Amino acid sequence: MREEERVEMVRTQVEGRDIDDPAVLAAMRKVERHLFIPDSRRKEAYADRPLPIGSDQTISQPYIVAYMTELLRLTKSKSVLEIGTGSGYQTAILAELAEKVFTVEYIASLSGEAREILDKLNYRNIAYRVGDGYAGWPEFAPFDAIIVTCAPDDIPDTLIGQLAEGGRMVIPMGAGSYQELMLIEKKPGGKVVIRDLIGVRFVPMVHS
């Protein structure tokens, strides 16, 4: 039943819009989104909207997860840094597509719960860190891709610094409850190109 809901979610909400990367679609069909959602909201797991996951945080709408993931152009030889582990759902999608995922979460309990589910699902290519995403994860930089799922007022220079040449970063940016989703490309040679894509709604990226 849930598998049918998931296939339908991908067909109508993801493929039915503008996502056509076969690997992204396959990952979205495979990862059991309902496992990342608290019991009280599980019935809504495949709905076309974000949902609360506790600690005042939310799991993003499926379409937004797909859209941001597709922009990263991940392949099995790439590393990706994620800021904002949250429920761990986006982390699982990344782990399906990349060689290695480094995920940073500010709230220890959320990181722990996400890790528990992802360990149970047997993901072995994810490294977890509890800490402040503004610092990135310097020990493992540079990353081929960076995805930020909370919104800073400004693009953190540290994260641009940890992006590999030829790498791509997606990040919602702006103060207040609406932001712009930005795509940042670091070209070979180091030139940084920034594009403003769509309006989005994320929780703020908190300062420690």
Which residues of the chain form contacts with ligand SAH (CB under 6 A)?
Answer: 53, 57-60, 83-84, 86-87, 89-90, 104-107, 110, 132-134, 149-150, 203, 205-206
Nearest position to ligand SAH, beta carbon: 86
**Alpha-carbon distance 79 to 90, whole Å?**
15
**Alpha-carbon distance 126 to 36, whole Å?**
16
Give whichever of 162 and 165 is closer to ligand SAH, judged by the CB atom: 162
- Name the minimum Å distance from CB 37 to ligand SAH: 9
Whether 60 is catalytic is yes
- Name the minimum Å distance from CB 54 to ligand SAH: 9
Question: Which uninterrupted H or E stretch holds 171?
Answer: strand 163-173
Give whichever of 73 and 201 is closer to ligand SAH, judged by the CB atom: 201
- Name the minimum Å distance from CB 60 to ligand SAH: 5
What is the residue-wise DSSP string for 118-164?
Answer: HHHTT--SEEEEES-GGG--GGG--EEEEEE-SB-SS--HHHHHTEE
46, amino acid identity: Y
Which residue in 40, 55, 60, 79 is the catalytic one?
A: 60
Here the tokens at position 108 are 């220890």
Nearest to 66 by CA among 141, 129, 6, 131: 6
Give whichever of 154 and 188 is closer to ligand SAH, judged by the CB atom: 154
- Name the minimum Å distance from CB 21 to ligand SAH: 18
Active site (catalytic) residues: 60
